[in-house]
Amino acid sequence: MTVAMMLASTLPTQQAVVALSPRAGGASPSQATLLFTLAYLLVWTAFGVVAFAADVVLHEAVERVTYLEEHELIIPGALMLGAGAYQFSGLKDRCLTVCRTPMSFVMTRWRRGARGAFRMGIDHGIYCLGCCWPLMLLMLAFMAAGLALMALATLYFFAEKVLVHGEAVSRATGGVLVAGGIAVVIFGFASADRVPAEGCGPTVSDLRDVGITHPCPGTEASPDQPLLLGVDTLDPQRPPRELESLSVMG
């Protein structure tokens, strides 16, 4: 997925390397294309391996931290916020400038021969990685969104690096991500700590606090947990009087 999205945006630089290579004593066009592309893909493959390993570690950490598990929106919100803020950073600007000027990249980093074509592919892959890695992490986080999101991201990466107003596209995207990330993080912190039992207004824990051991109609209480006198079933649309009194007192 990562490779497919990034290849389209590197075509201008690849074409410049292929065009100049025979004239400057470099590799043949076919060799230059193959080696430059392989090196570029190697950078992104390494990033994908590291990102996947980090994702596994993060999921294991979340499973051990109850608060994060119950407020699962905090992490994707923080990723959105971080990716948006990175769009305004100096490192992003420097890397994007290199990616948007393929001829300048080739003229200032030219290396002869087949090894040179491979090294230029590595260099270009590093600059491209520096330009896009936070957004790629977002793509991995929201991978379940499928091909539609993948196609949209591919168009974005191409527009950012090729269109005349690519810098404006980058900053507008950063603003949207920052605003969206703040909203998601706030919603994640504000989300309820406990999930309500299906079909009931109050949570199971709330009902147990006032002595009710069968929160939903038709459920059976444990033999060692006596029922609250006078309460046989609950109206799913209305919490019991005990909880109403507690909310008033609170």
Report the C-alpha gap between 111 and 29 in whole angstroms.
14
pTM attached to this predicted model: 0.68
In a shared domain, residues 111 and 201: no
Query: Among 172, 190, 208, which residue terminates a domain?
Result: 190
Considering only residues 36 and 244, tell me which one the structure prediction assigns the higher pLDDT.
36
In a shared domain, residues 97 and 182: yes
In a shared domain, residues 20 and 94: yes
Report the C-alpha gap between 44 and 136 in whole angstroms.
10
The CA-atom distances, in angstroms, between 199 and each of 67, 147, 227, 237, 241 are: 24, 35, 20, 8, 18
Nearest one of 58, 79, 66 to 182, comparing CA atoms: 79
User: Percentage of the chain surpassing pLDDT 90?
Assistant: 26
In a shared domain, residues 179 and 216: no
In a shared domain, residues 15 and 122: yes
Band of the pLDDT at 162, cuts 50, 70, 90?
A: confident
**How many CB atoms are closer than 10 A to CB 12?**
16
In a shared domain, residues 172 and 211: no
Query: Among 190, 218, 239, which residue terminates a domain?
Result: 190
Q: At what angle do helices 147-162 and 166-190 cross, to 10 degrees?
A: 140
For the chain, how many structural domains are there in total? 2
In a shared domain, residues 178 and 234: no
Burial state string for 100-119 with b = 16 or more CB within 10 A and e = fewer than 16? bbbeebbeeeebeebebbbb
In a shared domain, residues 128 and 99: yes
Considering only residues 24 and 148, tell me which one the structure prediction assigns the higher pLDDT.
148
In a shared domain, residues 219 and 157: no
Nearest one of 53, 75, 49 to 62, comparing CA atoms: 75
pLDDT 10s digits, 41-89: 999 999 989 988 988 888 888 888 888 777 888 888 899 999 999 999 9
* Three-class secondary structure assignment of 180-243: HHHHHHHHHHHCCCCCCCCCCCCCHHHHHHCCCCCCCCCCCCCCCCCCCCCCCCCCCCCCCHHH
What is the predicted pLDDT for the residue at 250?
Answer: 47
In a shared domain, residues 175 and 203: no
The CA-atom distances, in angstroms, between 159 and each of 40, 81, 86, 145, 201 are: 19, 22, 18, 21, 48
In a shared domain, residues 98 and 211: no
Band of the pLDDT at 234, cuts 50, 70, 90?
A: very low
In a shared domain, residues 185 and 216: no
What is the predicted pLDDT for the residue at 39?
Answer: 93
Q: Which domain holds residue 239?
A: 196-250
Contact present, 243 and 202 (Cβ < 8 Å): yes
What is the predicted pLDDT for the residue at 166?
Answer: 86
Least confident stretch, 16-25, 132-141, 156-165, 226-235 = 226-235
